Amino acid sequence: MKHQQYETWILLGTELDLEQHRELQVHLKQCSQCQSLYQATHQIAHLFKTSPVPEPSPGFSTRCMTRIEKVETRKSQFILGMTLSVISLATLLLLSSVGLQIRAGMAQFPQLMLEMITLVAKWIVFLNQLSHIVSPLIRVSLKLISPIWLITLGFSLSGITIAWMIPFFKSRTIQRELHS
């Protein structure tokens, strides 16, 4: 006789539809092996339902929490140690790399300083020449442009600035509200 299907139904204890339940009952009447299994599983289920739940020994939860805290502390210390080791190694590599670059650049330091001073001097000369060109243009423009245009330009720039500031401050307010 084929028992696998019936043993699976008995051991899993799943809900059976009417046809499966009827088929199982017919099989149990014919098969003493499956009937013994069925009775044993029902007795075990009854024992689990009726047996009192054992109480843990005194201090069990305290011992467990202490053990968990020790494991968490060790894990945190390990992570901190690894993080500090990686940061220290990266810093050491960076400093040694920078040190090598500085050592190599020390021979060229006077040349680099001279080039930097030359560059700054050229910029100063350029800005001085630019001011000699721009300042007469501004003086002439102020005389040629009517005061109405200057006022209009001032209000326009102010309006553009205000039109930019309003959405900026609104977005900042929204960001603060989201973070709160």
**For residues 91 and 97, what is the distance between their CA atoms, to the nearest angstrom?**
10
Indicate the residue among 92, 107, 122 that finishes a domain: 107
Contact 24, 6 (CB under 8 A): yes
Cβ-contact 73, 66 below 8 angstroms: no
Does residue 75 fall inside a structural domain? yes
Specify if 90 maps to a domain.
yes
User: How far apart are the C-alpha atoms of 180 and 175, rounded to whole Å?
Assistant: 9
Domain residue limits at 27: 4-50
Residue with the larger pLDDT of the pair 73 and 9: 73
3-state secondary structure of 3: coil
pLDDT in tens, 83-137: 989 888 888 888 887 777 766 667 777 777 788 888 889 888 898 888 888 888 8
Residues 74, 80: Cα–Cα separation, whole Å? 10
Residue 153, in any domain of the structure: no
pTM: 0.33
Helix (H, G, I), strand (E, B) or coil at 173: helix
Q: Are residues 9 and 44 in the same domain?
A: yes
Domain count, the chain: 2
- pLDDT of 36 strictly over 60: yes
Is residue 8 domain-shared with residue 46, that is, in the same domain?
yes
The answer to whether 35 and 3 have CB atoms below 8 angstroms apart is no
